[in-house]
A and B are shown apart, each in its own frame.
Chain A
Amino acid sequence: MKSEHQIKQLAKQIRFKPDETVDERVLACAEAVLEKSTKNQDVAALRRPSIRRKFMKSPVTKLAAAAVIIIACVIGLYLWRNTGSGIALADVLTRIEQATCYMYRLRSTITKQQNISKWAYTVLITQEGIKLKSEMMDPEPENKEFVLPEMYLLPHKNALIALSHETKTYISMKFEDTWMESLKKYNDPTAIIKQILSCNHTSLGQSVIDGITVEGFQTKDPAYKGGFFGQADLGRESEKVDVKIWVDINTFLPVQSEEDILAKDGTYLHEVSSDFHWNVPIDEAGFEPNIPDDYTSPVGDLIFPPTDEENAIKGLRIYADLAGKYPNSLDKQIIEQEESKKLIWGDTASWEELTADEITKITNDIVAPILILVDFYKTLVVDEKEPAYYGQSVTPKDSKMLLMRWKVSDNAYRVIFGDLSVKTVTAEELADLEKP
């Protein structure tokens, strides 16, 4: 029989050391917080609820916010278009594509200045679509219980449906083919593998995770875009990247992946995908979202038009009508900036007074076109169409100044002017337009 002393001695021999990646992450986060709190001595002001948090309090706007977040995720997914070549990892890709259905857990932590947002996702991917449950793991009491809806991405129906069982509400979003085609191709951990393949990567050799012998692959290439279903702002340039994926040496299927990405603007993303279950049996009929009769939609159908030039120009026009100027840059953050939130949704006091129709109208008429504009530009970047945007210096009054351009063929560029007129020009003509 063991004595209390012996049991205590055994317990004291249990020691866990965080690894170097964790050390870096924790310190990067803590230092960012320290810097911010030192700069701003008014700590109380730091803790004042942001517009986003006030907005989250309303059950109706919670769902509308969720919709915007979901759309942001969808845009993120759309960016994973890179393909690459490789040998072992390419085999892994093949094996994943052979799986009819799988699920896994994803935990995401995004540290942006002093704000830390943590999300946990359960993802189920089938040939019918994707089912996603997400939960915000937020230490702030007011957000602690905020749960995003259960979400279904249904490529065959070009639809995204989000249900909140908590509030017995749902949102239905319709997308054009272009969006869903991309989702079908770039919607799962294969995106991570494709990214690694397209970057400089190395083998980590073999290890053991949960009793499974695995082989690891790693990239530290800043070209890695990363982030899956998290809210990584994928358009940002990365300062530091450390991505690892561990693959079962027997099945060639992923066991775990870890992403640590420090963007140049200081945003830190940490994501871990694990608990993979492959070819899990599911009831196919049961995959369709079952919307109970007593559930209501706080907004009408949200409709997202195709990502094309016409709708991108519409997005520019709408933003200019609201702000009297064009956005300074075309990244996803446009929607998240306080200035834009005020432009789009009015002041915070009016937030919770919006009716369902008003939210639907604002989302369809304003938010969606601006998101399409962002997506259009990102697509040009990903497709290496040499896009350039001059919204910081060109206003709607500068009718003949070059606002945006991209390449359409060897010697032809499409240009949008300050008055939003459009023209195709030669490379020489473009050079003249871009002269200071």
Chain B
Amino acid sequence: MSEDKHLLKLLRQGDRHALRRLYEKYRTDLFTVAVSLIHDVHTAEDCLQDVFARLAEGAADMEIRRNLKGYLISSVANRARDRLRSKTKQLDKIENFGCSTSANNPVKALIDREESARLFNMLMKLPYDQREVFVLHVQGEMKFREIAELQNVSIKTVQSRYHYGIDKLRALLDREDIK
């Protein structure tokens, strides 16, 4: 039995240590995916909390067909999408107050390598579907097939989104290199 299966079994019995072990094991991967998708640390924190609360609540009923990590990354992606929808609404509402807001990027300072930081910022310039595919595949290590199920599209569509995303990132990085 794999460690994850064993931990899930213990979790179903209410074992807190199993929950803590799973959290320690996947917290950074999940948080990285959430921040990369949302570009907002606080909202990403909320996603992380949602995902683990649901894991704790639903462990007894949970059927994980493939792997736990893939399941958790998919959960993060679903929540990130929900959050972004709400956030967009919220931003509209702030603007409706009649006050201007300044754009900010609180996560920029957290990335050490300048080039990676640039790439991180450029992710926001990708259409969300392309960004999601790129982040889930590269950072979340999900297979195209798994992403296709999540996005409810064909594998070909996912592959296209990935390649379009790569092309756009490449063009953006090159443009900055020339500058």
The residues of A with any CB-CB pair to B shorter than 8 Å are: 1-2, 4, 7-8, 10-18, 22-23, 25-27, 29-31, 33-35, 37-38, 41, 43, 46, 103, 105, 107, 109, 111, 114, 116, 118, 120, 122, 124, 131, 133, 135, 137, 139, 144, 208-211, 272, 274-275, 277, 280-283, 286
CA–CA, A31 to B57, complex, Å?
9
- Report the minimum CB–CB distance from B72 to chain A (whole Å): 12
- A109 near B46 with CB under 8 A, answer yes
CA–CA, A12 to B135, complex, Å?
9
CA–CA, A135 to B99, complex, Å?
19
CA–CA, A13 to B170, complex, Å?
17
CA–CA, A280 to B134, complex, Å?
39
CA–CA, A26 to B101, complex, Å?
30
- List chain A residues, Cβ under 8 A from B99: 103, 124, 277, 280-282
CA–CA, A23 to B24, complex, Å?
9
Residue of A nearest to B52 (CB): A30
B169 contacts A by Cβ under 8 Å: yes
The residues of B with any CB-CB pair to A shorter than 8 Å are: 11, 13-14, 16, 19-20, 23, 27-28, 31-32, 35-36, 41-42, 44-46, 48-50, 52-61, 79, 82-83, 86, 89-90, 93-94, 97-102, 104-107, 109-111, 113, 115-116, 119-120, 134-135, 138-139, 166, 169-170, 173-174
- Report the minimum CB–CB distance from B109 to chain A (whole Å): 6
Q: Which of B14, B46, B102, B115 has the most CB of A within 10 A?
A: B46
Given contacts A11-B138, A122-B93, could you give 16 more A-B pairs where the C-beta distance is less than 8 Å? A1-B170, A10-B113, A11-B139, A13-B113, A14-B36, A14-B119, A26-B48, A34-B19, A34-B56, A37-B56, A37-B59, A124-B99, A135-B90, A210-B105, A281-B99, A282-B99
- B57 near A43 with CB under 8 A, answer yes
CA–CA, A377 to B79, complex, Å?
41
- A30 near B19 with CB under 8 A, answer yes
Q: Which of A31, A103, A208 has the most CB of B within 10 A?
A: A31
- B14 near A34 with CB under 8 A, answer yes
- B28 near A17 with CB under 8 A, answer yes
Leading 9 A-B pairs by shortest Cβ distance: A38-B14, A34-B56, A30-B52, A33-B56, A280-B99, A30-B56, A210-B104, A16-B35, A13-B116
Q: A137 touches which one: B86, B104, B106 (CB < 8 A)?
A: B86
- Report the minimum CB–CB distance from B50 to chain A (whole Å): 6
- List chain B residues, Cβ under 8 A from A286: 98
Knowing A7-B170, A109-B46, A116-B53 touch, does A16 contact B110 (C-beta < 8 A)? Answer: yes
- List chain B residues, Cβ under 8 A from A109: 46, 49
- Report the minimum CB–CB distance from A97 to chain B (whole Å): 20
- A283 near B90 with CB under 8 A, answer no
- Report the minimum CB–CB distance from B43 to chain A (whole Å): 8
